């Protein structure tokens, strides 16, 4: 049985996460050092959610995919030029701050309002996809809040697999400790899924998809709704996780000694 | 794979490559396409009822992936953006101080002509008493007017491109698609009718593999090519159309650079511009530009006339950094990003046919680089603006993009512009370097001070005609037996030869500090990241493998900016790793073996490919 899902992917943009995203306090509060200079990309977790959404929509005729994205318009535009070539979707733009220091409740509320306002959206078919975490700095709570605001209580986080079954139910695998998965079966939409890395690779660029998308992306950007975020938490201190890499240069050390050091380090 | 059925799409203007030239073109064109009442000045022929469909394809995965620190008079850029404030663009500032410095060789390891050696000895003997020698360097008391950039700008081309791209996209008239390489031009009866995008889902050799998707054909009445010096589409056109009589592209340079955080102790002011010459080899030029926020862009240019078969730009750059005159400013600093890029230095002499039926060329690939003034970004921008003005004129007049019409509008504008006038002055200015460093400097001075009326005669042989053997180069420092042993040792270990040879002839080892002085591979990891999307064919191809097996120099390996071309322990044909290629194109012009069918080319083909270095701040 084909359901014809209405899939809304919530995905923000982040500075290239392969660069060091060092927090700094500026006049406007906390932000990421060099954020303006780093190239922006779609949050990788949200990217996986989008690819999974496109794949699901392809296998369920009558489905539709929206990408609801909040971020500075000019940066979003650049990102969309790349994303638009990957999979078909319709873009909804919220012109607001990005960067991970905006309070999750405010972001969740803005996203939920944008989803509610989507013309033609059938909530009985609604699947809200998003990233489980944010690559820049996320509270990890935004998707839950979006779900609560929309009145969707079937929520799954750290999802790696979604299997739509013929009877309309969906089997979902969520990541749990130790590389294991928690398996759930949900009766069907509506549901919120915060994706981990999923199972699908990044699709290749397809100029024809890009052209179709861009015809809608440009007007969507022009119609972007400005989002004003008030208040939120005050951060007393922000720092990157204390990962330490100590490099020693050693010469002529026997392999047994090196092996012992590694074993000691693993056991420490 | 010409018989494969391909999807096809019609647009009005298709553009290849997004750099400064295309920035100038699309900025000017976008603004001119809307009339005062806000309506479009022309209707799309590809999509009737819509505004013109203008699409630009860029190979790199981001529109700000350019690699160059730039000092520019920025005249054309400022004309395009009246009231331009450098603070609008990250890492951009005005030139405030300029210096030219001659660096002596503190190690005595570089190759210097006897006359230069004598001059250096005199400087060392009398310099200190004349108080113009310090830290093994001589600061020139003046800057030749043709080199002076004040009041210009120093900036990062990557950041500038990002900024320009966002301005263009905000206009909404043109689409710029990064991550989409173009493989070739499409021609019909001598007329360019569009471009073909690269096939995806192919194996390394280009054969269909899992997920094969043939590159789409994009048809357009006008194809604008601005894909830079090593762009495959421009070179493809050169093959199809031939070059104008007497024009050739034999003068190149490899620019390698870093963006660094200057140490607290450094007192160089913002807007400071330093040009160096004399070291690590006499004719390797260096640059250091202090941008905003205590960030500097610095690096070297290794020219094609450097007749050394073992030339490592990376190690040379490290020796340059640690020269006492520079290291006193840089010690304690930290590398933020790193990159490399080829420069087409033939200038006007390397100019192809600028326009033909259905196409036009702009930017560095069209010969805009000015080697006398050491600039190219503003010139490239200017060429883009000139084409846009010409195209707008034709659109408004309803005229087709024929060769004659583009000549009358674009080429004619270019011929009467300062771009052309300055290119003529610069055309022969560096010829002397083909004979030697001193001749080169004299030639530049003569050309610069006489506005190009007089020039030093030069030498423009092709690489295969001029690169000497390693044995010849390092005799009598190294015997043929020693070189043979080194070569065998390096091949067995899969290493390049340059480190072994440089160590043996007196270059000191580089003492890594983990911040500025790091291994080449670490620079590749920390200085950016290489994008090599899956499913594309290898873009570096060794045309005649037997010629590689016979080759003793293998400059492709020695010169490779990303160590993507490496020694093959099992065969003489080098190995290529797309995951490390920064797309600088040094292999293309440095190879010392001729192409089997075209002596103007080398045995390395640099084809269309996706990816390259994605560096945040270049």
Task: Give per-residue pLDDT as tens, B459-494.
Answer: 888 999 999 999 999 998 999 999 999 999 999 998
pLDDT in tens, A158-194: 999 999 999 999 999 999 877 889 999 999 999 999 9
The chain B residue lying nearest A213, using CA atoms, is B175
Helices assigned H by DSSP within B189-242: 232-241
Residue of B nearest to A214 (CA): B175
Is the predicted pLDDT of residue A88 greater than 90, yes or no? yes
**Tokens 């690269």 found at:** B198
Task: Give the predicted TM-score (pTM) of the model.
Answer: 0.89
| Total count of residues recorded for chain B | 618
Q: Find the CB nearest A218 among B65, B172, B616.
A: B172
Closest CA to B14 of B221, B156, B178, B203: B221
pLDDT in tens, A11-60: 999 887 777 777 888 777 788 877 777 778 899 999 999 999 999 999 99
Indicate the helix (H) or strand (E) that contains B94: strand B92-94
Contacts of A199 (CB under 8 A, 6+ apart): A52, A160, A161
Query: What is the distance, to the nearest Å, from the Cα of residue B458 to the centroid of all Cα atoms in its chain?
Result: 22
pLDDT band at A1 (very low <50, low <70, confident <90, very high): very low
Residue B111 near residue B437, CB atoms below 8 Å: no
Task: Output DSSP code: residue B407.
Answer: I
Of B172, B178, B616, the CB nearest to A81: B178
More confident residue, A78 or B329: B329
Task: Tell me, yes or no, if B51 comes closer than 8 A to chain A by beta carbon.
Answer: no
Asked if the peptide bond before residue B433 counts as cis, ω within 30 degrees of 0, the response is: no
Q: What pLDDT score was predicted for residue B38?
A: 78
Tokens linked to B493: 């270990």
Average pLDDT value for chain A: 87
Tell me, yes or no, if B90 comes closer than 8 A to chain A by beta carbon. Answer: yes
User: pLDDT at position A162, please?
Assistant: 96
Distance from CA of B482 to the nearest CA of A (A): 26
Report ipTM for this prediction.
Answer: 0.74
DSSP chain A: -----EEEEE--EEE-TTS---EEEETTEEEETTTTTSPEEE-HHHHHHHHHHHHHHHHSTT-EEEEEEEE-HHHHHHHHHHHTTTS--EEEEEE---SS-S-HHHHHHHHHHHHHT-TT--GGGEEEEEESS-TTT--S-HHHHHHHHHT---EEEEEEEEEE-TTS-EEEEEE-GGG-EEEEEE-SSSEEEEESS-SPPPPPP-HHHHHHHHHHHHHHHHTPEE------PPPS---------------S--HHHHHHHHHHHHH-
Q: Select the residue of B159, B535, B616 nearest A19 (Cβ to Cβ).
A: B616
Radius of gyration of chain A (CA): 21
Contacts of B65 in chain A (CB under 8 A): 39
Cα-only R_g, chain B: 24
Closest Cβ–Cβ partner in B64, B169, B213 for A39: B64
User: What pLDDT score does B392 carry?
Assistant: 98
**Cβ pairs bridging A and B (under 8 Å):** 76
pLDDT at residue A99 above 80? Answer: no
Contacts of A18 in chain B (CB under 8 A): 529
CA distance B567 to chain A (A): 25
Residue of A nearest to B512 (CA): A249
Q: Are B200 and B536 in contact (CB under 8 A)?
A: yes
Q: Is there a contact between A216 and A11 (Cβ–Cβ < 8 Å)?
A: no
The answer to whether the beta carbons of residues B22 and B226 sit under 8 Å apart is yes
pLDDT at residue B32, rounded to an integer: 95
Is there a contact between A204 and B180 if contact means CB atoms under 8 Å apart? no
Inter-chain residue contact B616 with A81, CB threshold 8 Å: no
Chosen for mutation from A24, A39, A220, A223 (greatest number of chain B CBs closer than 10 Å) is A39
Quote the minimal CA–CA distance from B5 to chain A in Å. 15
- Residues of chain A neighbouring B534 (CB-CB closer than 8 A): 201
The verdict on a CB contact (< 8 Å) between A81 and B218 is no
**B138 in A contact zone (CB under 8 Å):** no
User: What distance in Å separates the CA atoms of residue B305 and residue A224, rounded to the nearest whole number?
Assistant: 54
Beta carbons within 10 angstroms of residue B46's beta carbon: 18
B9 closest CB neighbour out of A39, A211, A222: A211
Which residues of chain A does B62 touch, with a Cβ-Cβ cutoff of 8 Å?
A: 39, 78, 82
A205, A209, A217, A222: best to mutate for the B interface, most B CBs within 10 A:
A205
A74 closest CB neighbour out of B90, B166, B514: B166
Q: Which residue has the tokens 């010096």?
A: B229
Hey, are the CB atoms on A16 and B614 less than 8 Å from each other? Answer: yes
Closest-CA distance, A38 to chain B, in angstroms, reads 5
Determine the Cα–Cα distance for residues B559 and B337; give it in Å rounded to an integer.
20
Confidence of residue A221 (pLDDT cuts 50, 70, 90): confident
Nearest chain B CA: its distance from A37 CA (Å): 7
**Rounded distance between C-alpha atoms, residue B259 and residue B90, angstroms:** 13
What is the Cα–Cα distance from A152 to A111, expressed in whole angstroms? 14
From chain B residues 443-502, the ones with a CB under 8 A of any chain A CB are none
For residue B159, give the nearest of A37, A205, A211 by CB distance: A37
Distance (Å, rounded) from C-alpha B539 to C-alpha B206? 9
B88 shares contact with chain A (CB less than 8 Å): no
Write out chain B residues lying below 8 Å of A77, CB-based. Answer: 166, 169-170
Task: Find residues 32-91 of chain A whose CB sits inside 8 Å of chain B.
Answer: 34, 36-39, 74-75, 77-78, 81-82, 85
Q: Which residue has the tokens 């270095």?
A: B613
For residue B125, give every residue at least 6 positions away whose Cβ sits within 8 Å of its Cβ, in sequence order, or none: none
Smallest CA–CA distance, residue B218 to chain A, in Å, is 10
Here the tokens at position B308 are 């050394």
Nearest C-alpha neighbor of B58 from the set B611, B582, B591? B611
Vertex B613: Cα angle to B610 and B618 (nearest 5): 135
Q: Which residues of chain B have pLDDT under 70?
A: 1-2, 616, 618
Q: Which residues pair with B252 in a beta bridge?
A: B344
Instruction: Find chain B residues with C-beta within 8 A of A19's C-beta.
Output: 616
Asked if A141 is an interface residue toward chain B (Cβ–Cβ < 8 A), one would say: no
CA of B7: which chain A residue's CA is closest?
A: A208
The shortest C-alpha distance from A39 to chain B (Å) reads 6
Which ranges constitute the DSSP H helices of B322-436? 324-330, 377-397, 403-406, 412-415, 418-426
Dihedral, B434, B437, B440, B444 alpha carbons, nearest 10: 150
Token output for B613? 């270095």
Distance, in Å, from the CA atom of A134 to the CA atom of A157, rounded to the nearest integer, reads: 13
pLDDT at B556: 96
Chain A residues whose beta carbon lies within 8 Å of the beta carbon of residue B64 = 39
Among B9, B170, B177, whose Cβ lies nearest the Cβ of A81?
Answer: B177
Question: Which pairs with CB-CB distance under 8 Å and at least 24 residues apart come from B207-213?
Answer: B208/B1, B209/B535, B211/A204, B211/B535, B213/A204, B213/A206
Shortest alpha-carbon distance between residue B42 and chain A (Å) = 18
Chain A residues with beta carbon closer than 8 angstroms to that of B175:
81, 214, 218
Does residue B101 contact residue B274 with C-beta atoms inside 8 Å? yes
Do B239 and B571 form a contact (C-beta atoms < 8 A)?
no
Tokens of B601: 């080319």
Min Cα separation B298/chain A (Å): 18
Task: Look at A207 and B533 and tell me if their CB atoms are within 8 Å.
Answer: no
- CA nearest B51: which of A146, A218, A154, A141? A218
Length of chain A counted residue by residue:
268
């Amino acid at each position: 049985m084909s359901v014809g899902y209405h899939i809304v992917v919530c995905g923000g943009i982040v500075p290239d996460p392969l660069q060091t995203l060092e927090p700094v306090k500026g006049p406007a509060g906390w932000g990421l050092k060099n954020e303006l200079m780093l190239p922006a990309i779609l949050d990788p977790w949200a990217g996986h959610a989008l690819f999974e959404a496109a794949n699901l929509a392809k296998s369920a005729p009558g489905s539709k995919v929206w990408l609801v994205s909040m971020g500075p318009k000019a940066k979003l535009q650049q990102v969309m030029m790349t994303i638009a070539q990957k999979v078909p979707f319709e873009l909804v733009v919220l012109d607001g701050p990005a960067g991970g220091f905006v309070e999750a409740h405010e972001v969740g509320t803005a996203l939920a309002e944008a989803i509610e306002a989507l013309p033609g959206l059938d909530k009985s078919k609604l699947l809200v996809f998003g990233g489980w975490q944010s690559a820049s700095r996320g509270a990890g709570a935004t998707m839950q809040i979006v779900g609560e605001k929309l009145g969707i209580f079937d929520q799954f986080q750290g999802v790696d697999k979604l299997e739509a079954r013929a009877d309309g139910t969906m089997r979902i695998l969520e990541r749990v400790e130790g590389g294991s998965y928690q398996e759930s079966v949900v009766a069907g939409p509506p549901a919120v899924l915060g994706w981990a890395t999923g199972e699908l690779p990044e699709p290749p660029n397809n100029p024809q998809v890009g052209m179709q998308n861009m015809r809608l992306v440009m007007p969507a950007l022009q119609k972007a709704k400005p989002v004003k975020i008030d208040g939120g938490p005050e951060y007393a201190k922000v720092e990157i996780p204390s990962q330490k890499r100590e490099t020693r240069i050693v010469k002529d050390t026997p392999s047994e000694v090196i092996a012992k050091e590694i074993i000691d380090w693993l056991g420490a | 794979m010409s018989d494969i059925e391909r999807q096809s799409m019609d647009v009005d203007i298709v553009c290849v490559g997004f750099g400064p030239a295309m920035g100038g073109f699309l900025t000017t064109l976008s603004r001119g396409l809307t009339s005062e009442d806000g309506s479009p000045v022309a209707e799309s022929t590809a999509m009737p009822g819509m505004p013109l469909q203008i699409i630009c394809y860029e190979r790199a995965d981001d529109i700000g992936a350019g690699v160059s620190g730039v000092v520019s008079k920025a005249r054309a850029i400022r004309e395009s953006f009246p009231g331009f404030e450098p603070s609008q663009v990250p890492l951009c500032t005005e030139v405030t101080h300029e210096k030219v410095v001659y660096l002596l060789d503190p190690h005595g390891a570089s190759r210097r002509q006897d006359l230069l050696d004598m001059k250096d000895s005199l400087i060392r003997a009398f310099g200190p008493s004349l108080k113009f020698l310090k830290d093994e360097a001589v600061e020139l008391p003046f800057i030749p007017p043709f080199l002076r950039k004040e009041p210009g700008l120093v900036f990062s081309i990557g950041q500038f491109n990002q900024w320009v791209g966002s301005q263009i996209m905000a206009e909404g008239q043109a689409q710029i698609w990064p991550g989409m390489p173009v493989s070739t031009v499409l021609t019909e009866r001598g007329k360019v009718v569009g471009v073909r995008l690269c096939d995806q889902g192919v194996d390394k050799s280009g054969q269909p593999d899992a997920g094969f998707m043939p590159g789409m054909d994009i048809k357009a009445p006008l194809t604008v090519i601005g894909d830079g010096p090593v762009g495959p589409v421009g070179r493809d056109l050169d093959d199809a159309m031939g070059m104008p009589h007497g024009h050739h592209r034999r003068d190149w340079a490899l620019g390698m650079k870093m963006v660094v955080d200057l140490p607290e102790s450094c007192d160089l002011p913002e807007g400071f511009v330093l040009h160096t010459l004399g070291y690590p080899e006499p004719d390797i030029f260096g640059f250091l530009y202090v941008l905003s926020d205590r960030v500097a862009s610095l690096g070297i240019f290794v020219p094609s006339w450097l007749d050394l078969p073992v030339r490592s730009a990376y190690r040379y750059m490290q020796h340059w950094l640690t020269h006492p005159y520079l290291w006193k400013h840089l010690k304690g600093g930290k590398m933020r990003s790193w990159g490399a890029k080829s420069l087409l230095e033939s200038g006007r002499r390397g100019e192809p046919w600028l326009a033909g039926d259905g196409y036009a060329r702009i930017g560095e690939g069209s010969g805009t680089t000015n080697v006398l003034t050491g600039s190219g970004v503003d010139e490239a921008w200017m060429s883009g603006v000139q084409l846009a003005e010409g195209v707008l004129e034709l659109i408004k007049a309803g005229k087709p993009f024929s060769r004659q019409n583009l000549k009358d509008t674009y080429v004619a504008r270019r011929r009467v512009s300062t771009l052309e006038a300055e290119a003529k002055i610069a055309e022969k200015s560096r010829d002397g370097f083909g004979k030697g460093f001193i001749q080169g400097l004299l030639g530049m001075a003569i050309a610069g001070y006489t506005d190009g009326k007089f020039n030093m005669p030069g030498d423009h042989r092709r690489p295969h005609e001029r690169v000497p053997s390693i044995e010849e180069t390092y005799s009598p420092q190294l015997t043929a037996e020693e070189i043979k042993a080194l070569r065998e040792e390096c091949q067995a270990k899969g290493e390049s030869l340059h480190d072994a040879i440089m160590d043996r002839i007196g270059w000191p080892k580089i003492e890594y500090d983990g911040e500025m002085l790091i291994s080449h591979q670490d620079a590749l990891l920390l200085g950016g990241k290489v994008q090599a999307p899956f499913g594309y064919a290898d873009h570096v191809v060794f045309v005649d493998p037997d010629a590689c097996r016979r080759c003793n120099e293998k400059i492709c390996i020695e010169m490779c900016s990303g160590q993507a071309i490496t020694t093959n322990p099992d065969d003489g044909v080098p190995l290529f790793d797309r995951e490390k290629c920064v797309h600088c194109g040094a292999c293309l012009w440095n190879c010392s073996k001729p192409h089997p069918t075209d002596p103007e080319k080398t045995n390395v083909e640099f084809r269309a490919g996706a990816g390259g270095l994605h560096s945040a701040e270049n």
